[in-house]
Structure 1
Amino acid sequence: MAESDINEVSEARAELLCYLVATLAASHSLTHEWRIDHVVESCRIWLRRNSLWMDWLERVRFGQLALKLAKRELKGAGIAVRQSNVQALFTGDMQLNYSCTVIKKMLALCRDAL
């Protein structure tokens, strides 16, 4: 199947951003460090899984926005990712768990950020 440009699918952009924010927040709650080294690979994995394409510069911008949201905006929006609830953020195959309240709040924050 051919890949589509993610810029043509606005909801996909919000979902990708949410995935990156959730990954960063989960990693931070487990390591107490902001591990940005996983953002590039997480972005590639999500895009490949969803048969979407994004220009490299746009991936960098999304990574920077995800870090900003995870570091500065989650707490202000009343979203806390604790070590005890990291597993609930994702499904068994590491996709977002859309039934999780924290993910629902993150997705709304990401939509607003775009």
Structure 2
Amino acid sequence: MSKPDIDELAGARADLLCFLVATVAASYALTQEWRVDHVVESCRIWLKRSLIEMHWLERVRIGQLAFKIARRDLKGAGIAVRQSDVQALFTGDMGLNHASTVVQKMMRLCREAL
């Protein structure tokens, strides 16, 4: 049985993008570095956990968009992710914490970007 493509599931692309934006912002808050390797690995993990396929070039594009949003758009939207905020972005199993107001704001930005 093959996995569905990301565009076959409503909202999946926005959810992945938001997860990657949260990962980029959290990684930067913790390391003060923009880490591409964290985005690549996080994308792979999210797709595997969600049982979804995505073409490699689309993975690159969504990763680049996640960096753009995290580096430029979060601040403009009044979102600042500090080291103390990182844990609240994710659930215990490292999914997005949709109850977090910061994640909700990120999701709005991601939907608009798509």
Offset at residue 10 of structure 1 (A)? 3.8
Deviating above 2 A after TM superposition, structure 1's stretches of 4 or more consecutive aligned residues are none
Unaligned stretches of 5+ residues in structure 1: none
Aligned 8 A contact 1:5 1:53 in 2: yes
Count of equivalent residues: 114
Aligned-partner SS, 2:99: coil
**Percent identical:** 69
- Partner deviation per Cα, 1:80-109 (whole Å, 9 max, x = no partner): 111111000000110000000000000010
Question: 2:81 aligns to what?
Answer: 81
Aligned-partner SS, 1:86: helix
Q: Normalised by the size of structure 1, how large is the TM-score?
A: 0.97
| Cα RMSD, aligned residues only | 0.9
Question: 1:40 aligns to what?
Answer: 40
Question: 1:66 aligns to what?
Answer: 66
Offset at residue 37 of structure 1 (A)? 1.1
Offset at residue 9 of structure 1 (A)? 2.1
Aligned 8 A contact 1:27 1:35 in 2: yes
Unaligned stretches of 5+ residues in structure 2: none
